[in-house]
Amino acid sequence: GENVEQHPSTLSVQEGDSAVIKCTYSDSASNYFPWYKQELGKGPQLIIDIRSNVGEKKDQRIAVTLNKTAKHFSLHITETQPEDSAVYFCASGNTPLVFGKGTRLSVIA
């Protein structure tokens, strides 16, 4: 089955800097790669996703890139703000999705 590795497990950045979280997956048949944000005390919420027919997708300060050949995808957050502090999960697969172990991002004001 699908296996998803996510790095780093924790990440601290200064406010205004960029943050990058990387994931690798094992199943070359996977074609959907979402990113979820989990704020303290809440359930994960989808923030951006990408399908295998595109290499990059942007939504304001966040972007996701996908390299299908290397089987890895990344989340990029620019101009980080304190409200970006949360746990971020990548996922891969179809149904069911397989999640990475999460990255705790701390944005220091």
Partner 1 sequence: EAQVTQNPRYLITVTGKKLTVTCSQNMNHEYMSWYRQDPGLGLRQIYYSMNVEVTDKGDVPEGYKVSRKEKRNFPLILESPSPNQTSLYFCASSLVGSHEQYFGPGTRLTVT
Q: Which two tokens stand for residue 3?
A: 């296996």
Residue number, 19 or 102, with CB nearest to partner 1? 102
Residue number, 41 or 69, with CB nearest to partner 1? 41
Q: Which two tokens stand for residue 75?
A: 């989340």
- Provide the binding-site residues for partner 1, judged by CB under 8 A: 6, 9, 32, 34, 36, 41-46, 49, 89, 94-102
Residue number, 78 or 87, with CB nearest to partner 1? 87
From the CB of 73, what's the least distance to partner 1, in Å?
14
Backbone angles phi, psi at 89, to 5 degrees: -120, 135
